[in-house]
Chains A and B, each alone.
Chain A
Amino acid sequence: MKDWIKIIAAGLLVASPMMLAAQQTLYVKTTDAELRSQQGSGGTLVAKVPQNTKLTVLRQAGLFYQVRTADGKEGFISKIKVQDSSVGGGGGGLGGLVKDDRQLTTMRSQSVNRGVAPQTQEQVTAGLLPEQAVAMHTETEKLANAITTAEVDAFAVAGGLK
């Protein structure tokens, strides 16, 4: 009889963290986060979930959570791509980043063709920043701007990363 009690107690000890985890709710903080059938980039794509999608945590798995969406889809999502509250809800502080980052990337791309911003150029004109530094900055931006997503993917594949 005592053995049964021990077994039940041990079962509760193991189950309680899982039960707690099952009650946890998280929200997607990036665009198009992927739910996959396995951890990592392996497995199949279950769904692409947009920013602010509410997810119920089923369990933690290394760098991933296994989660369920409101419409019943289950999969693994990177811990980096979720947060405790919805975007704009005050908890994560990433409100507006999706839109802003596209704007910011556009500004950077434009600077490759148009040069540094007028505010930065004023610093050069005033002798506070050297012209050569601007030239080097521009070289860096040109190089980065010329690298395509396809090239990044090919680089990762060549290294056995994907």
Chain B
Amino acid sequence: MNTVDRRVFLRLGVATAATVGLVGCGGGASGGGLSSSDLGTLVQTGVTIGTGDAAKGEQFGNATSALAGATSDVSPEQEFLLGEGVSVKLYSTVGPRLADEQLQRYVNLVARTVAQQSSRPDLQFSVAVLETETVNAFAAPGGFLFVTSGTLKKLKTEAELAAIMGHEIAHVTERHMIKTFKRARLLEAANATLAAVNAAEHSKNIDLGNDLLLNRGLDQNFEFEADDVGLQLAALSGYDPQPYRNFLNVLASDPTLKGGFLQTHPSATARLNRLQALYAGDLAGAGGQTLADRYQQQVLAKLT
């Protein structure tokens, strides 16, 4: 696909996304799906946590814990279909797939290396590098991962990429999006949708999944957990966990970064603060490889 094609495609994608978004927010007209009140609950909760209301935050934490054991009734078909739909849409809403198979393969090898240490070693993960300057990374249920070329340009080492992949893998292994659906009592609809092949309801679930990834973000507790688990996965894989701290510091000090990553994740400063205990404790003296040269050769030399 040439540059002009890509621009046309992106415009088409955004227009399609806007249309789908309207359909998705239309609520219960088709019955049994994502109602406006359900979505309102979800949004309200996100705002509550975001404002740092301690009491409500604790309440949410308890709710999250209670849900930790409540995902086993989600079938592999449901997880796969939700993930596939959300993934396909991301190519049109975020950016096209970068046309460099060697680079794509390299990023997949890093992710698969890290995933071998995860709590779901039987799940195959895939990664797509999306061509956009936006700094962000995503994970859809079922093991579909994404990272933008804008993010890759901000990194200096393979160790940073490994930690980012670990973060996204953790979202999948801990089933954060599915827990969010369940928490908002949306999965009853999702269950019916995915099993009954109801196209309208499936579309709403895809919209909600994309909205969580691109606009609202997952709950901050899930993001902190993904940082924690992801960094452990990278370290267990043999990567030096320290460069990830450098990456978060770059994010925290970059005045040009707006939206994207910062819109859907807690502040880099808050994330650094939360990781202090891990760095000072279990990761103290962890060592490992940074692989700056390999990253330079495989990624930076091609993107800059």
Q: Is the CB of A159 within 8 A of B127?
A: no
Q: Is the CB of A123 within 8 A of B199?
A: yes
Q: Is the CB of B122 within 8 A of A105?
A: yes
Query: With A93-B70, A128-B203 in contact, is A100–B126 under 8 Å at CB?
Result: no
Interface positions, chain A 136-162, Cβ under 8 Å from B, are 136-137, 139-141, 143-145, 147, 151-152, 155-156, 159-162
**Residues on the A chain within 8 Å of B4, using CB:** none
**Residues on the A chain within 8 Å of B233, using CB:** 80
**Residues on the A chain within 8 Å of B203, using CB:** 123, 126, 128
Q: How many A-B residue pairs have CB under 8 A?
A: 198
B89 at the interface (CB under 8 A from A): yes
Interface positions, chain A 22-52, Cβ under 8 Å from B, are 29-31, 40-41
B142 at the interface (CB under 8 A from A): yes
**Residues on the A chain within 8 Å of B288, using CB:** 161
A interface residues, tally (CB under 8 Å): 63
Binary contact track B85-129/A, C-beta < 8 Å → 1, others 0: 101110110001100010011001110110011111111111110
A98 at the interface (CB under 8 A from B): yes
Q: Is the CB of A120 within 8 A of B124?
A: no
B33 at the interface (CB under 8 A from A): no
Interface-centre pick from A30, A91, A93 (highest chain B CB count, 10 A): A93
B161 to chain A, nearest CB (A): 12
Q: Is the CB of A120 within 8 A of B84?
A: yes
Query: With A92-B69, A144-B127 in contact, is A151–B109 under 8 Å at CB?
Result: yes
Q: Is the CB of A104 within 8 A of B68?
A: no
The one of A29, A111, A156 in contact with B119, judged by C-beta atoms closer than 8 angstroms, is A29
Interface-centre pick from A78, A101, A102 (highest chain B CB count, 10 A): A101
B54 at the interface (CB under 8 A from A): no
**Residues on the A chain within 8 Å of B291, using CB:** 159-160
Query: With A94-B119, A95-B72, A137-B91 in contact, is A147–B197 under 8 Å at CB?
Result: no
B76 at the interface (CB under 8 A from A): yes
A55 to chain B, nearest CB (A): 15
Query: With A93-B71, A136-B91 in contact, is A101–B9 under 8 Å at CB?
Result: no
The one of B97, B105, B289 in contact with A147, judged by C-beta atoms closer than 8 angstroms, is B105
Query: With A104-B123, A107-B76, A144-B108 in contact, is A123–B85 under 8 Å at CB?
Result: yes
Main secondary structure of the interface of A (DSSP, over half): helix
Interface residues on B, range: 35 or more
Q: Is the CB of A93 within 8 A of B68?
A: yes
Bound CA span A80–B87, Å: 27
Binary contact track B53-69/A, C-beta < 8 Å → 1, others 0: 00000000000000111
Bound CA span A145–B76, Å: 18
Stretch in B16-24, B42-50, B213-221, B247-255 touching the partner: B16-24
**Residues on the A chain within 8 Å of B152, using CB:** none
The closest CB in chain B to the CB of A129 belongs to: B88
**Residues on the B chain within 8 Å of A147, using CB:** 105, 108-109, 112
Bound CA span A52–B73, Å: 19
**Residues on the B chain within 8 Å of A40, using CB:** 236, 238
Q: Is the CB of A128 within 8 A of B237?
A: no
23 contacts between A and B (CB under 8 A): A30-B120, A41-B238, A62-B282, A62-B283, A78-B117, A80-B233, A93-B72, A96-B72, A100-B75, A101-B76, A101-B120, A101-B123, A105-B124, A109-B124, A120-B81, A123-B202, A123-B203, A129-B16, A133-B13, A133-B92, A140-B128, A143-B105, A144-B127
Extra contacts besides A95-B72, A100-B76, A132-B12 (10): CB < 8 Å: A93-B71, A97-B119, A120-B88, A122-B202, A123-B202, A129-B206, A133-B92, A137-B128, A161-B237, A161-B238
Sorted nearest first, the 8 A-B pairs with minimum C-beta distance are A161-B238, A144-B126, A93-B69, A133-B91, A101-B122, A136-B97, A104-B76, A140-B128
